[in-house]
Structure 1
Amino acid sequence: MELHFECTDLSVWKETLSTYKSRMESLNKPNLISLDEFYSHELPFLLHQRNPNPFITTSELSRLMQWKLTRGKWRPRLLDFVSSLDDSSVKSASQKAFHSLPDTSKAISELTVLKGVGPATASAVLAAYAPETAPFMSDEAMVAALGNSKDYSLKQYLLFTEKLQIKSKELSAKGDSFTPSDVERALWSSAVGVKLESSQKVSDNKIKGSNKRKRKH
């Protein structure tokens, strides 16, 4: 079942969010499960261990980029750019960004000085540290919330963040805490589910068509 952004039923959102891991598994992408484990659990723990001056390292940023590209569109040049960044530059930029929160505009701007880091990658860094403030700018969630995913500008990210923050507050008011990052994951999971269902229908129809042709012969 497709989850629409306008949906106000917390149970529907929670149910869709609960399919997140199985949707990832069904994509059959190499290393995606272990990369998501790193991004969703290990990295947030590492970042918060470094309080009061949290930062991300180049190798962690490189793994985060692998996660982003594996879960979305594979663009190897971005990984090359990020992997060759100087560790001290990454540390300095990320410290400034984390200290800027909850000002997401300033935080994104601090990170996008790094080569290969645009607003979408910067949003993934912020979401790992502060999922209650900054959601990851995935194509699937952008399409659901804004109607398209063609514009990766800071202005578009701020619009996207505002919509997901409002939705998370609306859902959290009904009982359980539901962060903007939970909203993003649920929307991603729903979109992937719809794609998988439609490709399954296409392959089923092909099989039916081929069986009909065989029976005619």
Structure 2
Amino acid sequence: MEFASCDVGAWREALLAYDVGLSLLRKPDLLPLDAFYRTELPLLLLRRDPRPFLTKPELHRLMQWKLTRGKWRPRLLNFISSLEEHLVESASRKAFTALPDLSQAVSELTVLKGVGPATASAVLAAYAPDVAPFMSDEAMIASMGNVKDYTLKQYLAFAEKLQMKAKELSVEGNCFTPVDVERALWSSAVRAKLLHSPSDDKSEAEAGVKRSTKRKRKI
């Protein structure tokens, strides 16, 4: 998926293939973790309006999701485990209250040990998908080039690009959020990587693309 592409159909197809991408990674824990992150957590946060917050167990599970979908770094989980519950709730409440000011929101979360801009972006994306995209490796590379500078400054530039792309794609009845754009980029990158992998993975990736295309036609 080329980030510059304006083909709404191609972006929609990549987004619809997100679940296929999860399955292709062959990580049994990823599917329930992703269901928690995409479905359960946003509902929990919305129920806590007007002053939503994240609990320590929820942050721990979010970190498990982030590391399982990306690169596994167990030390980060240890940092989260060492945090005090009231600090997690206080920092997250301040962060959500700061939105749509992404700079302040990220800064409120990164006071927590083990939480950098990328993890902070995952927290914010769960509550405000129309503002805060998750700072994944795949989306960063696709939108910013081969750069892995996980700083607040880089995240703000990244978020702005995905916000603009979401607006660009939201035409003729289509509705994309920055979070949708990130997931489409991630899905496309995962499938592209597997298509260049050994034959078994390649065949499975090709089959996944066909299944997602069929689902698209039924919508």
Structure 1 length-normalised TM = 0.91
Distance 1:34 1:203 in 2: 22
How many equivalent pairs are there?
A: 202
Which residue pairs with 1:49 in the alignment? 47
Q: Which amino acid aligns with 2:145?
A: G
Which residue pairs with 1:97 in the alignment? 95
Which residue pairs with 1:172 in the alignment? 170
- What do the CA deviations read for 1:34-57 (whole angstroms, capped 9, x no partner)? 000000000000000001110000
Question: Secondary structure at the residue paired with 2:12?
Answer: helix
- In our comparison, the structure showing a higher alpha carbon Rg is 1
Structure 2, gaps ≥5 residues long: 203-219
1:26 is displaced (CA, Å) by 0.9
1:15-54 equivalence runs, <5 A: 15-54=13-52
Question: Secondary structure at the residue paired with 1:52?
Answer: coil
Structure 1, gaps ≥5 residues long: 205-217
Which residue pairs with 2:136 in the alignment? 138
1:1-217 equivalence runs, <5 A: 3-201=1-199
1:201 is displaced (CA, Å) by 5.0
Q: Structure 1 residues 113-122 or 170-179, which shifts more?
A: 170-179
Contact 1:19 1:189 in 2 (8 A): yes
Q: Which amino acid aligns with 2:49?
A: N
- What do the CA deviations read for 1:161-198 (whole angstroms, capped 9, x no partner)? 00000000000134211000000000000000011000
Flag the 1:203–1:180 CA change in 2: closer, same or farther, 3 A. Answer: closer
- What do the CA deviations read for 1:1-27 (whole angstroms, capped 9, x no partner)? xx1100101111001100000111011
Distance 1:149 1:115 in 2: 24
Which residue pairs with 1:210 in the alignment? none
1:83 is displaced (CA, Å) by 1.9
1:29 is displaced (CA, Å) by 1.0
4+ residue runs over 2 A deviation: 200-204
Contact 1:10 1:174 in 2 (8 A): no
% identical equivalent positions: 64
Distance 1:151 1:9 in 2: 28
Report the aligned-residue RMSD: 1.3
Q: Which amino acid aligns with 1:144?
A: A
Question: Secondary structure at the residue paired with 1:134?
Answer: coil
Distance 2:136 2:19 in 1: 16
Contact 1:141 1:184 in 2 (8 A): yes
